[in-house]
Amino acid sequence: MLAEELITFHPTKDWVDEDLLKVMEDVFNRYYHYFCSCLVKGTYPFVTPISLFKSVPNNRDTIFIWSEIEADFQEMNVPMLRLHGDLWTANTLLDKSVGEIYFIDWEFSNYLFFFYDFFNMMWVEFYINKNDLFLNQYVNGEYDHEMERAFTLFGLDFKQQARMSYFNLYFLNYYAMRLTKMDLKSRKAYIKQYKKLLRQIKCRPSIN
């Protein structure tokens, strides 16, 4: 709580789109520098999506998530980095007086797919705040440069036509880390919204 007490932050309920986009830009830039430092150290594991899939309960929900991931990505070696794990707007402090952004509440920090926190920002903002700004930006290709820059660092290609496969890889990781620890009712609520989101996106015109 010390950070919250010392910082005169702008309440998230008062944020406008400009504030949200500023925070997301900061996330991409900050993580790029973090990724560079991880590369220098070179001490991080790799995990394939198929091995992660085999580690979660085999049920209708996980099979559905897996079916939404294109075959080309199922055996991809993905770097696992120590990330925040619960990064979204409620866990960021925006001090507009000095233009600084702070990340708080690190209790879910863990080794995750290196792109996990990017998509967590998008997903949780949609699920909790019913705000699809970040997701729309992503689906419309507004974050392609940032994604390509991050993927290239690790020798991976970011394929624009497969944007949702990357999101679904994140959601598989999210399921493994968070949903498996929830009761059935809570887990079903998340899956329902996840499927609703996918339906909405599939109904949109394709953007490459």
State pLDDT tens for residues 61-103.
999 999 999 999 999 999 999 999 999 999 999 887 667 899 9
- Over residues 151-186, the pLDDT tens digits come to 999 999 999 999 999 999 999 999 999 999 999 999
Q: What's the pLDDT score for residue 14? A: 85
Q: What is the mean pLDDT of residues 18-43?
A: 95
**Average pLDDT, stretch 182-194?**
97
Of 96, 78, 34, whose CA–CA distance to 169 is shortest?
78
Give yes or no for residue 206 having a pLDDT over 80: no
Q: What angle do CA 44, 72, 52 make, to 5 degrees?
A: 45
pLDDT at 2: 43
pLDDT the model gives residue 103: 95
Instruction: Name the residue range of residue 125's domain.
Output: 2-202
Residue 207 lies in a domain: no
pTM of the entire predicted model: 0.93
Strands (E) across 51-175 are located at 78-83, 92-95, 100-103, 110-113
Total structural domains within the chain: 1
- Residue 208 within a domain: no
Instruction: Convert the pLDDT of each residue in 95-111 to its tens digit.
Output: 876 678 999 999 999 99
5 has a pLDDT exceeding 60: no
Q: φ and ψ at 46, to 5 degrees? A: -120, 145
Is the pLDDT score of 197 beyond 70? yes
Q: Which pLDDT belongs to residue 11?
A: 81
Compute the distance between CA of residue 44 and CA of residue 81 in angstroms, rounded to an integer: 6
In a domain? residue 27:
yes
Is residue 35, in this structure, part of any structural domain at all? yes
pLDDT of residue 96: 73
What pLDDT, on a 0 to 100 scale, did the predictor assign at position 205? 61
